[in-house]
Structure 1
């Protein structure tokens, strides 16, 4: 059960107040390079990004925001640090939200109040971001990683508990983050400005979770979730899934970003998978595939990866299964809208629980994608199953006697 927060409008997207959890990302281009920035935002739009943030480190980046805004379809957020004049120019350019960490603004509260007045006049939203790294916490990591032993006066030894020390420091840091966020909010409220979204990020999962939980107990402003600097595709996806999953399962969070050291388009599918696994959003492909084992007689990994890649732009909810053995394959495939249960050199195609046909291994891709396309709107169907069908072949034949054979080359076109 989600906690009911205030509702804030970011362009044409509603955040909080019972609206679906919105998925965000951030560009990696130099914002002043309008062509590259717009192209990347278009790619983000294609995979389902609903709000996009761009970095505005210098005035050259701020003055082109209006031009970028005209060419995209999703709300545009300006990420501002230090210089309040960049925020004021971004607001003049017509952005939909400004992201500020008041703690690193030159002239502090005075600058924030300038920005708030401008945002209020244009009726746009503001994200107040507080990061653990900006709360100048003492670095006690080295001390906490080893057990401290002290000799008591009675001659006995006292051993410290590193885990308990880390927990206490985490709680202290989280409380400082929340206190700062509430202080910044109070400055805005004194100017009768309430179009506020709040984030309390940390690269340490449990610190972020603790801060978000504490803030949620004490405020009804909508919350932007994120584990900052989470890492590369695998480590970042895992840390984000754990941290954001804990919070979302508790009903905390109104918008989110999965921060990865990867192309921003990679962040969006991870975000939707988190939301779909918690039954908070129903968008795009719910994909099931087996992990491969000694029972499998097709290269299920290659087939599954290729099918998932080709379905990445599908936004219509649909359940697809790619299975490689006779034990779990038929059951999982029957439960899907479209399923493949592969076997030695051939596979059975299921559609809505019914067996449609049996196809040879070199037709797995074509058969699965054709059936999926038949259940999609025309525009999406053409993206994944073009006229003339799928000529490529994914995977290799595999048996317990022969092992993995050489790859089957794509058919000539």
Structure 2
């Protein structure tokens, strides 16, 4: 896999493009005016591995909360601005690390000048965010709808507005709810510019549907070397987006964070509640950043052999659990209710050995 080479954009100390790792982003779904609630969600996102968080800034009250939130945030923050250049200026003044705007939508040329000048002075990058659901009317008419070509033309139109002002600290996104249109749009844009691309399938849907659409769309683009930062958009707790994002990146060998959990799909031979056990193990390891492989298997006889490449694993049978490392049995545990706590003790011992 050869990644398309793009220029580097710095977002609050996090490098995007230019050979940096593919960065994982999300967006708070809290009311930005609720400072404690927003900070709590930012903290949970950061703990899950989110590297950049975007905040909606719909009005002056939200803008007034930004300086406090930014001062206490553990990760860089992006202000999401629509239509009002004053909110963009307030976000820059509050110390936000980036803006997500479309310069053509924030006012006349003088207002665009003011925002771009302020961003240049503070070193604040701008993400041009094209959305298939809100394209300019003339482009919709000319292209017959929100086609990939229309989205790319919209993005290039906004890029030109910034470049005319000698501003090139730019990222670009081209999002639509159609997986195929999203892929086509990013392919076209990648041929035209060397700015970093923020990839995502917008309005992807609920946990399962959104995960599938995002995995297919983003997986194809990343495999083709397109994409410098991503967001998995789910109608769900945004913390779940981070887990999905890292699994997409892990499956392509692009990034690794936390344990990989291998679990068999269950069958008629399964004699324990394997689904619950696997979910409990996954939840217990959610905050662990070390990279290793954990197996949760449903057959005490064949499980260790089937998962012999796992660093550590457990295989359960009727009233019996076998804990193993690299296919070799470490010890046996009797009693279904002891499987999880005893397995977690072994994982903790395994991690202590690795860290020592």
Equivalent position of 2:67 in the other structure: 66
Q: Which one of the candidate residues 305, 311, 330 is aligned to 1:337?
A: 311
Cα displacement string for residues 333-390 of structure 1 (whole angstroms, at most 9, x for unaligned residues):
3211111122222121112443211112322111221222223369x9xxxxxxxxxx
Partners of 1:332 and 1:46 in 2: how far apart? 33
Cα displacement string for residues 21-52 of structure 1 (whole angstroms, at most 9, x for unaligned residues):
11111111111111111111111111111100
**CA deviation after TM superposition for structure 1 residue 243, in Å:** 0.6
**CA deviation after TM superposition for structure 1 residue 103, in Å:** 4.5
Change (3 A) 1:336 1:74: same
Change (3 A) 1:328 1:254: farther
Give yes or no for the alignment of 1:274 onto 2:248: yes
Give yes or no for the alignment of 1:214 onto 2:188: yes
Equivalent position of 2:51 in the other structure: 50
Equivalent position of 1:117 in the other structure: 117
Q: Is the 8 A contact 2:300 2:322 kept in 1?
A: no
Give yes or no for the alignment of 1:305 onto 2:279: yes
Change (3 A) 1:16 1:375: farther
Q: Is the 8 A contact 1:333 1:350 kept in 2?
A: no
Alignment of 1:141-160 (within 5 A): none
Q: Which one of the candidate residues 342, 355, 365 is aligned to 2:329?
A: 355
Equivalent position of 2:19 in the other structure: 18
Alignment of 1:14-413 (within 5 A): 14-107=15-108, 109-135=109-135, 136=137, 173-325=147-299, 329-360=303-334, 361-376=336-351
Secondary structure of 2:147's counterpart equals helix
Q: Is the 8 A contact 2:172 2:196 kept in 1?
A: yes
Q: Is the 8 A contact 2:103 2:161 kept in 1?
A: no
Q: Is the 8 A contact 2:78 2:100 kept in 1?
A: yes
Cα displacement string for residues 209-256 of structure 1 (whole angstroms, at most 9, x for unaligned residues):
110111011111001011111111111111111110110111110101
Gap regions ≥5 residues in structure 2: none
With normalisation by structure 1, the TM-score equals 0.81
**CA deviation after TM superposition for structure 1 residue 83, in Å:** 0.5
Gap regions ≥5 residues in structure 1: 140-167, 381-413
Q: Is the 8 A contact 1:297 1:344 kept in 2?
A: yes
Q: Is the 8 A contact 1:338 1:368 kept in 2?
A: no
Partners of 2:301 and 2:156 in 1: how far apart? 55
Partners of 1:104 and 1:273 in 2: how far apart? 35
**CA deviation after TM superposition for structure 1 residue 328, in Å:** 5.6
Q: Is the 8 A contact 2:300 2:320 kept in 1?
A: no
Change (3 A) 1:328 1:21: farther
Change (3 A) 1:375 1:189: farther
Q: Is the 8 A contact 1:351 1:371 kept in 2?
A: no
Q: Please say which structure displays the higher CA radius of gyration.
A: 1
Partners of 1:340 and 1:234 in 2: how far apart? 27
